[in-house]
Amino acid sequence: MAASNESSGQIQIRFISKQERHAVPDTPFSVPASITCEDLNTLVNELLKENRTGENDKEIEFDFLVCSQFLRSTLSEHLVEREVSSEAVVDVEYVERHPPPQPHECLMHDDWVSAVEACDNWILTGCYDNTIQIWTAKGKHCLTITGHKGAVKGVTWLKFLPGLALFASSSQDQTAMIWEWNMENNSVHCAAVLKGHERSLECVAGNNNGDDPVVATGGWDTNIKLWSSSLESLGEDGSDHSAAKKMKLGESKFKAPKATLKGHREAVSGVQWMANDELVSCSWDHTVRIWDADTNTIKQEISGNKSIFDISWSPLSRCLVTASADRHVRLYDPRSTEGTLIKGQYTSHTAWVQSVCWSCVQEFNFISGAYDNQVKLWDTRSPKAPLFDLTGHEDKVLCCDWSNPKLMASGGADSTLRTFRSRQSNG
């Protein structure tokens, strides 16, 4: 039916926006069927100028959603592709365009950077030279931490107390470690060694249980193990500023796991907590599994068609994205009861996608890093192309992180950690 309107050259549209300060009249009017995003942008800005009274006339860049996806072709082509009639009035939603991320820092390491996680003003990195590094968000190096006897494949912040922080690392040496960082004198102590896996570890994650975060680890023995992070040296609750000074940094001790979650058939490559009692994992066995950490049982299994190297869950959208060996990033809604659980597929990388991470403040945005040396910023409403390519890496990208809403970070086989400043949009 779209073809009949293409011949007449006109389509009826109505502009809508959830951003009230940019609202224009929703009266339908005709536009050329060949209209593009750029043309619509000019049109909306003209309408906004008419409605402004002495306000800033600076032009705003918008993106346009038609049928819940960004317009990336002519309007008529977009409607034909989605088998939507153009004879009825078409709703065109506009949102502020995501501003381009700005290159920030390039932090040099002595070997491949295989793990990264930021928290507020701090960045943890794990390296193939068996070390962990602590950096400020501004790029200043704080500490090099030794102790592992193999490449560090995972790092995660666990807990911050006045003057002291806890974090965990996982390594190819078959152990994970819990570390205490005395921020006042900038010294780190290995408080616990987590032993129980029989092969190399690939991933580590902590939940948000404030008093006793539970650490989850996964690796090549196909198991996930859960560990208490409670340390005898943390006798104070950290409620007053003097608590950190009272803590005694005792000798590191071996910990046994609280539980072992069995079910994967090949290496567990990614793990993340969805709630204090629920976690999700991905594996080289082509599956994603959601676990009940109270009963140590599988709640849900999602099957893919290739090895899955990383997974990220968003508490905002309550959806999962996965990084896969087939060069695709996939979006899953585990709550879906109709049709496939796959709600989107994002294809632009040209090699294995190794890492994915959701924005913690914007429900539609995530980043991915791949063996094609590229980091890409995506919007789930634009499956055909990323919003931006974050270039700079000269070798494989091994990890990426967006835990700090203002900072995207990625590490790679070029022995660098690269950061980009994310200027928040309201779209």
- Average pLDDT on 344-363 reads 96
Strands 287-292 vs 278-283: parallel, antiparallel or unpaired: antiparallel
H or E segment and range at residue 76: helix 75-81
Angle at 364 between CA 363 and CA 369, to 5 degrees: 110
Answer yes or no: is pLDDT of 236 > 50: no
Rounded distance between C-alpha atoms, residue 212 and residue 158, angstroms: 9
What per-residue confidence (pLDDT) applies to 211? 80
How confident is the prediction for the chain on average, in pLDDT?
Answer: 91
Confidence of residue 21 (pLDDT cuts 50, 70, 90): confident
Of residues 52, 80, 48, the one with CA closest to residue 62: 48
pTM comes to: 0.90
Looking at the chain, the domain(s) classified CATH 2.130.10.10 span: 102-421
**Average pLDDT over every residue of 103-122:** 97
Mean predicted confidence (pLDDT) in 402-421: 97
Q: In what order do the strands lie in the sheet with 268-275?
A: 268-275, 278-283, 287-292, 297-303
In CATH terms, the fold of domain 102-421 is Methylamine Dehydrogenase; Chain H (2.130.10)
Share of the chain above pLDDT 70, in %: 91
* Mean pLDDT value across residues 19-23: 87
Structure token pair of residue 59: 């032009």
Q: What is the pLDDT of residue 339?
A: 82
- Residue 72, classified by CB atoms within 10 Å of its CB into exposed (0-12), middle (13-18) or buried (19+), is middle
Mean pLDDT value across residues 131-143: 97
Band (208; pLDDT cuts 50, 70, 90): confident
Least confident of 105-114, 201-210, 276-285: 201-210
What is the pLDDT averaged over residues 115-139? 97
Higher local confidence (pLDDT), 232 or 238? 232
Query: Does position 277 have pLDDT exceeding 80, yes or no?
Result: yes
CATH number for the domain whose boundaries are 2-96: 3.10.20.90
Residue 299 has pLDDT above 80, yes or no: yes
- Residue 42, classed as helix, strand or coil, is helix
Tokens for 309? 């190297």
pLDDT at 56 (0 to 100): 61
Q: State yes or no: pLDDT of 242 exceeds 50.
A: no
pLDDT band for position 244 (cuts 50, 70, 90): very low
User: Is pLDDT at 246 greater than 80 in this prediction?
Assistant: no
- Inter-residue contact 68 to 380 (CB < 8 Å): no
Residue 288: pLDDT above 80?
yes
CATH code 3.10.20.90 region(s) in the chain: 2-96
Q: Are 327 and 321 in contact (CB under 8 A)?
A: no
Residue 39: strand, helix, or coil = helix
Q: What angle do CA 301, 302, 305 make, to 5 degrees?
A: 135
The whole-number average pLDDT for the span 29-53 is 90
> What integer pLDDT is reported at residue 150 of this predicted model?
98
Q: How confident is the model at residue 209 (pLDDT cuts 50, 70, 90)?
A: confident
User: Which pLDDT belongs to residue 55?
Assistant: 56
- Residue range 94-99: mean pLDDT, rounded: 92
Confidence at residue 58, expressed as pLDDT on a 0 to 100 scale: 81
The token duo for 52 is 């402004």
CB-based contact 141:127 (threshold 8 Å)? no
What is the DSSP secondary structure assignment for residue 7, as one 8-state letter? Answer: H
